[in-house]
Structure 1
Amino acid sequence: MVESILSLSSNEKKEEILKDSLKYYFKIAKPYWAMFLLIMCLITIAFLIEFGQNWIYKTVIDLGTDLASNKVTKDFFINQTLFLGALFFILVLASGTIKYIRLIFLNKMEVEMMKDIKKDIFDHLIDLSHRFHSSNRTGSLISKLIRSGRSVESLTDFITFHGGPLIIKLIIGFSVIAFFDVSSSIVVLVMTAVFITYSFLSLKKQQLANLAKNDQEDYEKAFISDTFSNIETVKHFGKEDRMKNLFLKIADVTAKKWVNFWNSYNRTEAGHILIIGIGTIAIMYFSLTRFLAGDLTIGSVVFIYTSYVGLTIPLYEFFWGVRRLYEGLADLNSVVKYKKIQPEVKDKKGAKNIRVTKGKIEFKKVNFYYNSKKQIIHNFDLTINPLEKVAFVGPSGSGKTTIVKLLYRLYDVQGGEILIDGKNIASVTQKSLRNELSIVPQECVLFNDSIYNNILFSKPNATRKEVFSAIKNAQLLDFVNNLPDKENTLVGERGIKLSGGEKQRLSIARAILANKKILVLDEATSSLDSGTEYEVRKAFEKLIKGKTTLIIAHRLSTIMNSDKIVVMKNGRIEQIGNHKELTNMDGIYSSLWELQKTGELK
Structure 2
Amino acid sequence: MNPSDSTPARRNDLQTLRTLLPYLWQYKNRVILAMVLLIAAKVANVGVPLVLKGIVDHLDGNKGVVVLPLALVAGYGLLRLCASVFGEMRDAVFAKVTQGAIRRVALQVFDHLHALSLRFHLERQTGGMSRDIDRGSKGIAFLLNFTLFNILPTLVEIVLVAGILLKKYDWYFAAITFGTIVIYISFTLGITEWRMVFRRTMNNMDSEASTRAVDSLLNYETVKYFGNERWESERYDKSLVKWEEASVKNQVSLSFLNAGQAGIIALGVTALVGLAAQEVVDGKMTLGDLVLVNAFLLQLYAPLNFLGFVYREIKNSLADMEKMFKLLGQNAEIKDQHDAVPLITQRADIRFEAVDFGYESNRQILHSVSFAVPAGHTVAVVGSSGAGKSTLSRLLYRFYDVNAGKITINGQDLRGITQASLRQHIGIVPQDTVLFNDSIYYNIAYGRPEASREEVIDAARSAHIYDFVMGLPDGFDTKVGERGLKLSGGEKQRVAIARTILKNPPILIFDEATSALDSRTERGIQAELKEISANRTTLVIAHRLSTIADADEILVMEGGRIIERGNHRSLLTANGAYARLWAIQQHEAESTTGDSTVDVH
TM norm structure 2: 0.93
Instruction: Measure how far apart 1:599 and its partner are.
Output: 1.5
Find the partner of 1:124 among 108, 112, 116.
112
Instruction: Measure how far apart 1:480 and its partner are.
Output: 2.2
Partners of 1:198 and 1:33 lie apart in 2 by 34
Change (3 A) 1:121 1:256: same
For 2:355, the equivalent position in structure 1 comes to 366
Q: Which runs of 5+ in 2 are unaligned?
A: 593-601
For 1:334, the equivalent position in structure 2 comes to 323
1:58-90 CA distance string (max 9 Å, x none)? 23332332x2x2x3324x2xx32x444433333
Instruction: Measure how far apart 1:100 and its partner are.
Output: 2.3
Find the partner of 1:72 among 58, 64, 67.
64
Change (3 A) 1:235 1:529: farther
Find the partner of 2:87 among 94, 99, 105.
99
Partners of 1:10 and 1:130 lie apart in 2 by 34
Find the partner of 1:207 among 173, 196, 203.
196
Matches within 5 A, 1:482-497: 482-497=471-486
Q: Which runs of 5+ in 1 are unaligned?
A: 1-8
Aligned amino acid, residue 73 of structure 1:
V
Q: Tell me the SS of whatever aligns to 1:599.
A: helix
For 2:505, the equivalent position in structure 1 comes to 516
Contact 1:165-1:314 at 8 Å conserved across structures? no
Instruction: Measure how far apart 1:12 and its partner are.
Output: 7.3
Change (3 A) 1:486 1:387: same
Does residue 47 of structure 1 match 2:42?
yes
Find the partner of 2:57 among 51, 59, 62.
62
Matches within 5 A, 1:305-454: 305-454=294-443
Partners of 1:335 and 1:222 lie apart in 2 by 16
For 1:25, the equivalent position in structure 2 comes to 20
For 1:506, the equivalent position in structure 2 comes to 495
Deviates most, 343-352 or 247-256 = 247-256
Aligned amino acid, residue 171 of structure 1:
V
1:464-490 CA distance string (max 9 Å, x none)? 222222111111211222233322222
For 1:459, the equivalent position in structure 2 comes to 448
CA RMSD of superposed structures (Å):
2.1
Instruction: Measure how far apart 1:437 and its partner are.
Output: 0.4
Instruction: Measure how far apart 1:263 and its partner are.
Output: 2.6
Partners of 2:323 and 2:425 lie apart in 1 by 35
TM norm structure 1: 0.93
Partners of 2:52 and 2:355 lie apart in 1 by 85
Q: Tell me the SS of whatever aligns to 1:265.
A: helix
Find the partner of 1:226 among 215, 236, 243.
215
Matches within 5 A, 1:256-267: 256-267=245-256
Q: Tell me the SS of whatever aligns to 1:278.
A: helix
Aligned amino acid, residue 581 of structure 1:
S
Change (3 A) 1:10 1:576: farther
Find the partner of 2:261 among 257, 260, 272.
272
Partners of 2:224 and 2:5 lie apart in 1 by 40
Does residue 475 of structure 1 match 2:464?
yes
Deviates most, 232-241 or 134-143 = 232-241
Instruction: Measure how far apart 1:298 and its partner are.
Output: 1.5
For 1:6, the equivalent position in structure 2 comes to none
Partners of 1:315 and 1:539 lie apart in 2 by 73
Aligned amino acid, residue 355 of structure 1:
I
Change (3 A) 1:539 1:238: farther
Partners of 2:531 and 2:246 lie apart in 1 by 57
Deviates most, 417-426 or 54-63 = 54-63
Partners of 2:134 and 2:527 lie apart in 1 by 44
1:335-386 CA distance string (max 9 Å, x none)? 2222222111121121100123222111111111222211111111101112
Partners of 2:146 and 2:15 lie apart in 1 by 17
